[in-house]
Structure 1
């Protein structure tokens, strides 16, 4: 079968039961106890499906679901002690594909996992084949759609803001002079001041808080990419 499943759940008993049932069916299971740990897994070794508790320490399941869905259509099953209709609706509206109320039957969970994989994997494969993307740290760019995501949240950008982010993302850690940026973004028929570059950088930094778009003093700018 070969599918990888990420389980985000802080209850040890549920962790052990769910892992045992899923591994018996041939799935590879990664278990973490918080949204922050789950996000680290997503960054380094993303699973093919998430099983996600809502009540978590730190980043709750709703926020985790929202951030994952901003980047991917990976299937998400929410498991929660919250059984009010409004909680289920919120979980599904934020991107969950299924919602299972605790306590639940592990066999039912396995059945839902199988059904969800059967329904979603062919769709995801088609989308991934048709959607080119670029990721540098927490900056995600969908090239075909010209969409920008920073830390899981989509930001509206202008044409030139997009062009600069794309150029820098294609060349992480490379320092570009202001003249190079003018040529690449404005074209060789631009005769204005290179202050336009500085103004563009200011706007990007204001829109995307903490983005590592660094000033190379006396020269230009670069997008820093830390070693993973």
Structure 2
């Protein structure tokens, strides 16, 4: 656990120093940054294994920087903010955040959440790296293609840039087309059985995929979950 490198991004010096002190006590390597612009340079030069990211930052805000992180990496992100309303939390999740903690918070609680996210992330990486090579999983040559070994997705022959969670969801649905998966089931498959967040994370992931693949036939099953419909009809939900 102490091999992990964590970046703390907050314009409040006291919070940066407090969080760093608690993380170093647990032998994490850390870097403290006051702005998203500084963090963006860190992302380019020496990307950390995890981000603790404040939403209200001078210049580029935490939401935009979270989106930038997700363009390049699927590492855990815990967002922190004085804002305690559902809209802000949902937006943070939609942009790729893994957890959301409201200020003022207990540093011990934050460290506990960091450890939980890293354990889940490490478990997911271990599973992915341990998978044996598999052939290309292909459904309808002119639409969806998944190269499982390479973890690459293609739509109508064009490669689509997807994160590891987005690929995991696509693979799960594509391996059993037309089967309705419950949200809780997808949450366990994609995030792991120790994930303690809301099943709305599945909805946010589907929403992200629909933005990337506009005609993706992922259909919402009312009150249940989702399925990938392969009968040639239009997607609903």
What's 2:204 paired with? none
After TM superposition, give the deviation of residue 128 of structure 1 in Å.
6.9
Q: Alignment partner of 2:58: what SS? A: coil
What's 2:225 paired with? none
After TM superposition, give the deviation of residue 121 of structure 1 in Å.
1.8
Structure 2 counterpart of 1:144, from 149, 152, 156: 152
Q: Alignment partner of 2:104: what SS? A: coil
Q: Alignment partner of 1:59: what SS? A: coil
Take 2:17 and 2:52, find their aligned partners in 1: how far apart are those partners?
Answer: 13
Q: Alignment partner of 1:7: what SS? A: strand
Take 1:143 and 1:114, find their aligned partners in 2: how far apart are those partners?
Answer: 26
Take 2:127 and 2:33, find their aligned partners in 1: how far apart are those partners?
Answer: 29
Take 2:85 and 2:68, find their aligned partners in 1: how far apart are those partners?
Answer: 23
Q: Alignment partner of 1:6: what SS? A: strand
| Alpha-carbon contact 1:88-1:99 (below 8 Å) kept | yes
Alignment of 1:9-24 (within 5 A): 9-24=10-25
What's 2:79 paired with? 78
Q: Alignment partner of 2:19: what SS? A: helix
Relative to the length of structure 1, the TM-score reads 0.56
What's 2:101 paired with? 100
Aligned in 2, Cα 1:57/1:123: closer, same or farther, shift over 3 Å?
same
Take 2:99 and 2:111, find their aligned partners in 1: how far apart are those partners?
Answer: 12
Take 1:12 and 1:128, find their aligned partners in 2: how far apart are those partners?
Answer: 38
Take 1:120 and 1:127, find their aligned partners in 2: how far apart are those partners?
Answer: 11
Q: Alignment partner of 1:5: what SS? A: strand
Q: Alignment partner of 1:87: what SS? A: helix
After TM superposition, give the deviation of residue 64 of structure 1 in Å.
0.5
After TM superposition, give the deviation of residue 93 of structure 1 in Å.
1.2
Q: Which has the larger radius of gyration?
A: 1
Q: Alignment partner of 1:95: what SS? A: coil
What's 1:57 paired with? 58
Alignment of 1:60-209 (within 5 A): 60-127=61-128, 144-145=152-153, 146-147=159-160
After TM superposition, give the deviation of residue 35 of structure 1 in Å.
0.8
Aligned in 2, Cα 1:148/1:73: closer, same or farther, shift over 3 Å?
closer
After TM superposition, give the deviation of residue 67 of structure 1 in Å.
1.1
Stretches of 4+ moved more than 6 A in 1?
none
Number of residue pairs matched by the alignment: 138
Take 2:63 and 2:40, find their aligned partners in 1: how far apart are those partners?
Answer: 13
Describe the superposition over 1:127-182 as per-residue Cα deviations: whole angstroms up to 9, x where unpaired.
Answer: 5788xxxxxxxxxxx99333469xxxxxxxxxxxxxxxxxxxxxxxxxxxxxxxxx
- Contiguous gaps of at least 5 residues in structure 1: 131-141, 150-228
What's 1:200 paired with? none
Take 1:122 and 1:61, find their aligned partners in 2: how far apart are those partners?
Answer: 27
Two-structure CA RMSD over aligned residues (Å): 2.0
